[in-house]
Every structure is written in structure tokens, then in C-alpha cells.
Amino acid sequence: MKRGLALLLVGLHGLLLGGCMQATLAPSSNASLTARDRQLLAHARYAQATIPETYRRHIVDYTRKEQPGTILVDTNSKYLYYVLPGGKAIRYGVTVGEEALAWSGIATVGKTAEWPDWIPTAEIQARLGPYPKRVAGGPDNPLGARALYLYEGNKDTLYRIHGTNQPEYIGQAISSGCIRMTNEDVIDLVNRVKPGAIVVVLPPGRSA
């Protein structure tokens, strides 16, 4: 009886160990922050929101066919994937657009910016304003620490993947169409992405 129990425990230990080997692994959350990043983020006025574990940065298995270096946004699941070699990807939790405002399609990263200024579009001014014509970059800026500008050909789509001053909404669908990430995550992403990288944004109702 004792021997059988011991064998059962060994078997369970093996299963648990196997599960650990398949578990997601979180990369360092602050290794890529510059001195300026640390200074600005340390004085952010918003509360340091607790991001649910599922929406924190992880390395996961990736079975789709996108090439390494591609960004894929799963609007349904509120995840952004940065595709790595070897069937892996870095998965980030994101805030996506409200259903009527969500953008989907294929674009490229036309440019990136560090602590960018925010220039509200006429549509945002009409729907949510009034805002100043330009909001200087910084921790209170809605674009956060970095922005990736999405282009179709040579045309700016006006949609962005960017940081946020509202990290408490990661995992929800409330934005005006852009993809929001925590500032730490968007810094990590921008440090990995090459100019011209393909960005695939799946429409609502279609999961990766």
C-alpha cells in the first residue's frame, strides 16, 4: 500500500513537473527601461494597477503560421502576440477598441516614437472632447511611453499600438480603436520590433 502510494506520488510529481515545463515564463518586466522611463514612470499620477496574471507578459506556444517578428492582435481575447522563432511568441495583455470602433486588418509598423505627443483626431474631439490640440508626451499622456504607428502602404491609418495612462483597463474593450499596452510592455515590444514589421489585427469574433 505504501509502495503504491509512493509510486502515485512520484507519478503526480512527474505530471506537475511536466506542467511546469509547459508553463508560461514571464520575461523581466523592467530590463529595457531607460533612465528617463524610470523617472517618468515613477512619478505617474495614475494608480499602479494590478494586472491579472493572464494579461501579464508571458512566453507561450504559438501554432499559427505568421513569421517571426510579426505582431498579431487577438481582439477577442485581448492579447497581442510578438512572434518568436521556434513556435513561440511573447503574449501581452492589451486594451482593444469598443466593438463599433475596433480596427482590424493588416498593416505595417511605419514608425515608432518614444513618449510621443498626442494629437486628438477630429472624431475624438467631437465624441469625447474638448481636448487641447496637442498633449505633450509624459506619464499623463494617453499614448504612454511608446507608440507604434500603423500604416497601410504609405498611408497612416491613424491607429496605434501604444502605452497608456489607464493600465487598469488592460483586458477590456474600451478604447477608440487603438491597441493599448502597459507602458512597461510597450517599451519591451518597441525594443523588439523592426521597422516595417507586419501587424495583423483580427476582427472581433475571430480568435487566434
The model's pTM is 0.83
Mean pLDDT of the chain: 82
pLDDT, tens only, 113-163: 999 988 777 777 676 667 777 888 888 899 999 999 999 999 999 899 999
To the query of whether residue 58 is one of the catalytic residues in this protein, the response is no
Confidence tier at 49 by pLDDT (50, 70, 90): confident
Binned at pLDDT 50, 70 and 90, residue 100 comes out as low
Check if 20 is active-site.
no
**Res 175: pLDDT:** 77
For residue 190, what pLDDT is reported?
Answer: 97
Q: What does the alpha-carbon distance between residue 166 and residue 102 come to, in Å, rounded to a whole number?
A: 18
Instruction: Enumerate domains of the chain plus CATH numbers.
Output: 25-202 (2.40.440.10)
Average pLDDT value for residue range 18-47 = 70
**Max alpha carbon distance in the chain (Å)?**
77
Q: What is the pLDDT of residue 6?
A: 40
Q: How far apart are the first and last CA of the chain?
A: 47
